[in-house]
Every structure is written in C-alpha cells, then in structure tokens.
Structure 1
C-alpha cells in the first residue's frame, strides 16, 4: 500500500505497526503538542526562517555542530573580520533585553555561563566587538536550544517573533560572512 504524498509513515505505540500521518500530525505527536499548534508554527515564516538559518549557521560557521564552549573561540576568530556596525544593533538589543532578570532566566533555563553574565553586567559601550559577537551568538544558541529542547509549547515560539527575527538577521550576516571568507555553498548546490 502506497503512502499519499502529504503523509509519512509512523509507528503506532499500541500495535508497533506502521500507520500514516500528515507531517503536522506527526510533528505534533513528536513534540507532544496539538496539531493546531504545529499548523500555527508551520504557517509562520519567522519560525521556518530560523530553522533554515540555524541549519546553515551551524553547518557553515561551526562545522556542523555548536556547543556552548565553541562560541568563545568562534567570536575570537570571527570578530576581527566583521565590521563592528554589522551586528551592533542586534547585540545591543539582546544586551538591553537580558538586563531583565526574568527574561534572562527564561532564556537560560537554569544554565549558567559566567562570561555571558559578566558581559551583561557591563555597560554595552564598554564591550569589545568580540564580546558583542559572543553575546549575540550565545543568545542565538540559547534560542535554538529553547526551540528544540525547551519545554515550551510550539505556540510560544510565536511570542518571541521579534527576537527570533533578530536572531535570523544576525545568522544571515554571519553565514554570508563565512561564505564570503570560504566559499563552499555554490559548489554544493551544483
């Protein structure tokens, strides 16, 4: 029996036998959220753009996998070749946003990073371009973790639309910079 094109095979828990589900039904089951929440997410271009940009960012800028300890090295290596104005507004936005303790706790979910805490404790104008890049990439990383590993419902992604859009814009700049420095993507698409 052939699966319709808009449906994917799944396994039922009860019978351990394959069954068919739409993508949004499958994703909702996988995330433990309702199909309607998943439909809201899939209809939202911001969320989709974040997922695509993250995939490119992680692949291009971190050789396929980002870990929190890698961010400092990345910032040190990359900051000197990116103009300080390119990411200033995004870094300033997140620096100001996470002065609020509740927002910071919501971002971090119990995780600690001493360098990030120290940077948030200093005036933004005193931060070096490396500090600003570290802060920005760390925040993007935390958004990624909260999206993929967080305990929030899918619909909560939409509450952070402005912040997610800023993350996407920052990743666009960083991926473009990495591609300009080391072109590889056009070859892959050929």
Structure 2
C-alpha cells in the first residue's frame, strides 16, 4: 500500500471516528468546517485525497490536529516520528513545501511544521478558530508574514508569534529560500 493510500484510509477512519465522537452529523461537520457534505462523504469513504486546506478546516472544526487526523497507528506515550515519516502536505514545482513533523493533543491540537518557501512564492491561510496561536522561527532567508493585511518581516534567526484567527500568509520576497519551523496551537472544541 502506498503512503498516499495509507494516509487516505487513515484520514477516512479518523474523520469518521472524531465526527462520531463529537456527535456531529455529516451536515453539522460540513457547516462547521465550511466544506460540502459530499466532500466529507468522499473523505470518510477514502475516495478522495483532499487539499491541505480542506484537511485543516476539518481538523479545526473537530478540534483535533492534522497529525491526529492522519495518524495510522496509536503508539506509546512517547512517539518518535522518523524523518522519513514526516508528512509533506503542500509543495510547488518551484520547490516550496511544508512538512508536518509532529503533533499532539495538549489540551487542543498542537502541531510542529517544517517549511521551505522558494523565492517569489507565497502560501495563504484561511483564519483558524478563535484562540489559535502560531509561532514561527526563521532559520534561513527572510520571511514576509502577512497577518490580517499587515506585513511583517522576519529575518533568519528571528521568531514571530501571532493569533491566527484572521487571514494570514507566508511569503518569500527575497533571493534565497526561506526555511522556518512553525508551531500551531488550536484550542480544544467546546
């Protein structure tokens, strides 16, 4: 079974599990996540490979991390994620990408990401639930971070934190790739 097949089946099983555990109907989850009921049916039947944006919306609506939605094995209290198991969820032909390195529920979803943005590339993000916080640490290049329309420059060696419940975007307007590590903390669903 390919990695993509494994992730598709894991996503199907976990979305249905968390939807059922939360007591959400397909219609209720579709409304909360802003995705169609038909898309949720396809996901729960492992008949589609949704975009990262769709997976993020579903995770936010369920109050669980992307890691939890894609988890295909429940392990011990300490979970080591080998480098080859980091999940690449977004990439461009120019070489930009992000990888979900690890995540947990503590008390809401907490994720750690590895990003690379090639010169001239941007990655926009829809608002996350109220109370979501993001932290970024740039290790190479200069990140242009736009939060709610305001642009901020984050050079190599610097870090930034922000409330991610407004539109935001990561961009590289420089000449060299931007490399950064990002943590995302989402409050638990109430």
Q: Which has the higher contact order (CA 8 A, sep 6+)?
A: 1
TM over 0.5: no
- Give the TM-score taking structure 1 as reference length: 0.29
- Give the TM-score taking structure 2 as reference length: 0.29
The structure with the largest strand share of the pair is 2
